[in-house]
Amino acid sequence: MVKVFLSTDFSDDRLKFAAQIGVDGVSGAPTPNPADDGYYTLESLKQWKSKVESYGLELMCIRLVPWSWTYKWMLGLEGRDEQIENYKKTIRNVGEAGLDFLIYNMHALRIYRTSNQAPERGGARSTSFDINLARNMPLMEHPNSGVDISLIPEAERRPVTDEQMWDNLRYFLEAVVPVAEESGVRLGLHPDDPPVPEIAGVARIMRSADAFQKFVDLVPSDNSGVVFCQGCFTEMGCDIPAEIRRFGEQGKLFSVDFRNIKGTLDNFQETFPETGNADMAAAMQAYHEVGFDGWMTPDHAIQLDGDTDWGHRYWAYAVGHIRGLDQALNATR
């Protein structure tokens, strides 16, 4: 049986809902407390963990730390060593708090979609991406980036190539992986989303299955692995079951974002899980074949009429979809 989680803040309403629909845990990128100056303190992590557990749930991981704590090492800017030292503090505190998983990514601008109004069945709405709306953007700028570009001085705004981004990733991994090993914390790398070559002058290197194999081999460790976002790998045009087997057989599937898309890399949108490009039943079968029994989330809510901004109605539907597929395959063993 896979373990199902939702990504959320740690509000009482959402935690209670998550417990009621039967998920096993939650992940989150908590808003830092005043004492969290560039890293999450042990006290903050213990506080959040205790609150989550009070609802009978597990805090499965910290899913991204604030962008302002990471952009310098992602982009290779002055001050990256200080940010990496702070990241090490977060890793150590995550381990000491009794957690064992931390998710990060390498898309420094955190640009995800160009619209949230793509039509879905029955009048539902979803997010979409159109490369034509993301071409020729000002350097390191995009209206949907969700980050404070003003933190990057004008003098440091320059194009960043694939080679430079790979160097930045290696530099980061060589520094933090030993700390993760000592702390008993797994570091999971999420794909660039969307996995296009570049946006606003910044290369997006985690854009193919082969790139993830290169990453796995870059600084080999049992504590470094893949957040297998099916949506992103589908955007890449991958054979999803084949890639599940590829990384699953290496023990590198640390968690799964079990979502679907339709369209092509340059023009796609989110879909209900059973209506997109990927065969979700075949994907679940592949997870079973490689013995994956870890954490899985539906991720990226479709906007249903009458739903909340977070997507309570959609999450109930999507969690049920995961549970149904997983239980059906378990019954055939």
- Each residue of 138-171: pLDDT tens digit? 788 766 666 777 888 888 888 999 999 999 999 9
Q: How many residues does the structure list for the chain?
A: 333
**Which parts of the chain are beta strand (E)?**
3-7, 25-28, 58-63, 101-105, 115-119, 125-130, 186-190, 198-199, 202-203, 224-229, 253-257, 260-264, 267-271, 295-297
pLDDT at site 112: 81
pLDDT at site 175: 98
Helix (H) or strand (E) holding 319: helix 312-331
> Counting Cβ atoms within 10 Å, is residue 176 exposed (0-12), middle (13-18) or buried (19+)?
buried
115 three-class SS: strand
Mean pLDDT score of the chain: 94
- Report the alpha-carbon distance of residue 179 to residue 173 in Å, rounded: 10
Handedness of CA 62, 63, 68, 74 (dihedral sign): positive
Q: pLDDT: is 109 or 314 the higher one?
A: 314
Please, what's the b/e burial string for 106-124 (b: 16 or more CB within 10 A of its CB; e: otherwise)? bbbbbbbbbeeebebeeeb
pLDDT at site 217: 98
- Report the alpha-carbon distance of residue 120 to residue 194 in Å, rounded: 19
pLDDT at site 99: 97
Residue 113 reports pLDDT greater than 70: yes
Check: CB of residue 7 under 8 Å from CB of residue 28. Answer: yes
Percent of the chain scoring above 70 in pLDDT: 98
- Report the alpha-carbon distance of residue 261 to residue 118 in Å, rounded: 12
Check: CB of residue 49 under 8 Å from CB of residue 97. Answer: yes
The pTM score is: 0.96
Work out the average pLDDT over 195-208: 95
Work out the average pLDDT over 202-206: 96
DSSP structure class, residue 330:
H
Question: Which residues, in sequence order, are CB contacts of 101 under 8 Å at separation 6+?
Answer: 60, 61, 62, 94, 185, 186, 188, 254, 255, 295
pLDDT at site 209: 98
The partner residues of 104 in beta bridges, in order of sequence, read 189
Smallest CA-to-CA distance from 189 within 168, 210, 165, 173 is with: 173
- Report the alpha-carbon distance of residue 272 to residue 163 in Å, rounded: 36
Smallest CA-to-CA distance from 91 within 271, 221, 252, 241 is with: 221
Q: pLDDT: is 184 or 112 the higher one?
A: 184
Residue 304 reports pLDDT greater than 90: yes
The partner residues of 15 in beta bridges, in order of sequence, read none
Work out the average pLDDT over 172-196: 97
pLDDT at site 107: 87
What are the tens digits of pLDDT across the range 22-66? 999 999 988 899 999 999 999 999 999 999 999 999 999 999 999
pLDDT category at 70 given cuts 50, 70, 90 is very high
Superfamily of chain region 3-331: Divalent-metal-dependent TIM barrel enzymes (3.20.20.150)
Query: CA 142 → CA 66, 130, 137, 152, 266, distances in Å?
Result: 18, 14, 6, 14, 17
